[in-house]
Amino acid sequence: QLDKLMNLVGELVINKIALLQAVSTNKQDYLKRVAGSIDRLVTELQDLVTRIRMVPVSQIFDRFPRLVRDLSLKKNKKVDLIMEGREIEVDRTVLDEIGEPLVHIIRNCIDHGIEPPEERVKCGKNPVGRIKLVARREGDHVFIEVEDDGSGIDPEKIKKTAVERGFLSPVEADKLSRDQLINLIFTPGFSTAKEVTDTSGRGVGMDVVKTKIESLGGTVTLKTERGKGTKIVLKLPLTVAIIKSLLVKVADQVFAIPSSQVSEVIRIKGDAIKTLGMMEVIEVRGRIIPLLRLSRLLNLNGVDLPDPFEVIVTNADSEGKCYGFIVDSVLRLQEILIKPLDSTLSSLKEFSGATILGDGQVVLVLDIPKLISKKNEKKQKVALQLSS
């Protein structure tokens, strides 16, 4: 019933936008007052429905004390679980989707992170390991942190595994920074586990965790220090049904970009673009930002880029890197109702869904992390071809 109510609210949002657009060309005061009332009512109804859908994270947090107790016994380890922010609320849809990723992260803490008691004592640590699970809210986002005080992630071990299993050549591995090596754990199929166990290495890797969180419009960041532990932070939107998005124009087509994935919008001229190696870049406040042309990524050709044009700068990824997506123009910021793609279109990985604008136009919603991954995969293939 709540889902049905949310869909009705979404359709009402679409009709509200259509009415507002029609009124913008008509100067009758009465119509404007009616449109203003509808706008206010829809906003109130939307806020109410969103509040009804909110549930405390305790609904999944409360599963984890037993999980930690059982897994630590299996691994002959002693582990305490500390939880904070159990009362923090998030959209039910988001909560339903993050349970399995959190289970996998906690399994990894116990299997790969927390050391056996005797090893911890030798290192001057408390024989009882600690996992801290924290939820907190900041604005329109919820942050869930999982932190252990274990051994941390060894970048050299990751490098060795990546080379042994054919993910990278020795030359490529030597060129990677510490953070780049650590972030290889998010590569599909990558695992340092030598064998499948009941605890981890069960086919659900960190790449699946990252993909799941990003499909919700969230991000995953990781910090680790040898001998001190690892901290994984999930940044999640409060709700995933109706979101604010930038409507952009690319080669005479309109697309939507969730505003939660955008850091800023910059208008630049063509002569501001520089070339660094094989990558187009711009400099923003002393920072080099790689550029990606959306028209090329989406195979949209035949339309010249205007000058000046606009660049959508993304939020920093797990390595602290931002990207700039070149678009013809930014039309406006607007709330949209995201609908899942039909099964016949599910192969279009660059899109997270679609929406209908007030004029009836169907607009695809871009999946920015997937587009970045697609570009990086192409770049790696080219590099491999050149090296061979």
Mind listing the pLDDT tens digit for each residue in 331-359? 999 988 888 777 777 677 788 888 988 78
For the chain, the domain total comes to 3
Judge contact between 144 and 265, C-beta under 8 A: no
Q: Report how far residue 240's alpha carbon sits from residue 231's, in angstroms, rounded to the nearest whole number.
A: 25
- Same domain? For 49 and 61 the reply is no
Share of the chain above pLDDT 70, in %: 89
Average pLDDT over residues 248-275: 90
Asked if the model's pLDDT at residue 199 lies above 60, the reply is no
Token pair of 158 as six digits? 């990751």
- Same domain? For 162 and 272 the reply is no
- Same domain? For 338 and 209 the reply is no
- Same domain? For 273 and 362 the reply is yes
- Same domain? For 220 and 76 the reply is yes
Domain that holds residue 34: 2-54
The CATH number covering residue 328 comes to 2.40.50.180
Predicted confidence at residue 135, as pLDDT, reads 97
- Same domain? For 82 and 222 the reply is yes
- Same domain? For 209 and 255 the reply is no
pTM here? 0.74
Asked if the model's pLDDT at residue 107 lies above 50, the reply is yes
- Same domain? For 42 and 62 the reply is no
Q: Which of 214, 237, 260 is the last residue of a domain?
A: 237
Average pLDDT over residues 123-134: 96
Average pLDDT over residues 156-178: 89
Going by pLDDT thresholds of 50, 70 and 90, the confidence category of residue 195 is low
- Same domain? For 68 and 88 the reply is yes
Asked if the model's pLDDT at residue 13 lies above 50, the reply is yes
- Same domain? For 27 and 129 the reply is no
Predicted confidence at residue 387, as pLDDT, reads 53
Q: Which of 193, 208, 237 is the last residue of a domain?
A: 237
- Same domain? For 204 and 144 the reply is yes
pLDDT tens, position by position, 34-84: 777 777 777 788 777 888 889 999 999 999 999 999 999 999 999 999 999
